[in-house]
Amino acid sequence: MSVQQVIITDCDHEDIEIESRVLNEAIVPFVLKQCKTEDDVIREGQGAAVFLNQYAPITDRVMKSLPALKLVVRYGVGVNNVDLVAATRHGVQICNVPDYGTNEVADHALALMLSMTRKISRMTNEVRKGNWNYQTSIPIFRHSEQTVGVIGVGRIGTSFANKVNALGCKVIGYDPRISEKSNRSIPSYMELVELDELLSVSDVVSIHCPLDHARNLIDEAELRKMKPTSYLINVSRGGIINETALDKALSEKWIAGAAVDVAEVEPLPIDSPLLRHHNFFCTPHMAWYSEQAAQELKRKVAEEAVRFLRGEAVHYPVNQIKK
């Protein structure tokens, strides 16, 4: 393996001990930067063949200015900060780590679902106020008689579906990508339906699809199709739900509640109108996190870089580069 420099463009983790171990063992020189802008990346990235990248923008201008760059590995699943079209044009391989937090994200969606449907947070607040009366939780419905709609039946969507199926819920799914990939299959217990049907019959709708081609997928028209007793969950990407429409839906009681782990702008502004709703719940983009998942992510990012530099096939290509 020829010596090529790896640059960690940015990283807000406590340390890079795991990446360092993998790269040092492979005798790959590297350096950590904290780039925030295009100019930062261009200035700090000169001569590097590989970027390990968290949030720093990898744009057409960046790649045009860095002809030595051949690989970008994202810390995580999403590649929203990378211009994939430009990357392919410039011959830059983009990779991610799609499988490091599958169970964690699915578990988080399940936790949000149970907290809403069993009204855990709401009733805890009532108890804190001295109100020891279950009747203020009415109505609560039996899970085995509920329908859960899963938007996006990939790794995480399927993991979530398996968990709610174990509760006895009827599970339906919507995923237009399945028909495009012959090797994709769905669980035998799940029925695939069109989005309009999923929204209109589901008691819980949980979003597990990428932002690509799904921005504002859930807008005012879609929210109006949902039941007034239904709940909406998004642990995927901010921007899939139109937040203005969601505020209106909660204000006018089109749905019973919503819980998200992501927002159009992160962090969610403290003056967001969504935060005034007692039936809106938000966690700070943490669904992916467990100690084990965090360690796995860091290891796999570094291992992907080593594979590429050794001339081996990468495990998680996002775009297709002509050889």
Q: pLDDT tens for residues 102-160?
A: 999 999 999 999 999 999 999 999 999 999 999 999 999 999 999 999 999 999 999 99
306, amino acid identity: V
DSSP 33: -
Instruction: Tell whether the model's pLDDT for residue 170 goes beyond 50.
Output: yes
Choosing from 104, 237, 303, 307, the catalytic residue is: 237
CA atoms of 233 and 278, how far apart (whole Å): 15
Q: What confidence tier does 176 reach under pLDDT thresholds 50, 70, 90? A: confident
Answer yes or no: are the C-beta atoms of 203 and 148 closer than 8 Å.
Answer: yes
CA atoms of 77 and 297, how far apart (whole Å): 10
Told to judge if 285 belongs to the known catalytic residues of this protein, a careful annotator would answer yes
Told to judge if 266 belongs to the known catalytic residues of this protein, a careful annotator would answer yes
Burial class (CB in 10 A: 0-12, 13-18, 19+), 101: buried
HEC string for 89-131: HHCCEEECCCCCCHHHHHHHHHHHHHHHHCCHHHHHHHHHCCC
Answer yes or no: are the C-beta atoms of 105 and 288 closer than 8 Å.
Answer: yes
Choosing from 17, 194, 266, 312, the catalytic residue is: 266
For range 36-56, the mean pLDDT? 97
**Which residues are paired to 148 by β-bridges?**
171, 204
Choosing from 285, 296, 299, 315, the catalytic residue is: 285
Query: For the whole model, what pTM was predicted?
Result: 0.90
CA atoms of 160 and 120, how far apart (whole Å): 20
pLDDT tens profile 197-225? 999 999 999 999 999 889 999 999 999 99
Told to judge if 108 belongs to the known catalytic residues of this protein, a careful annotator would answer no
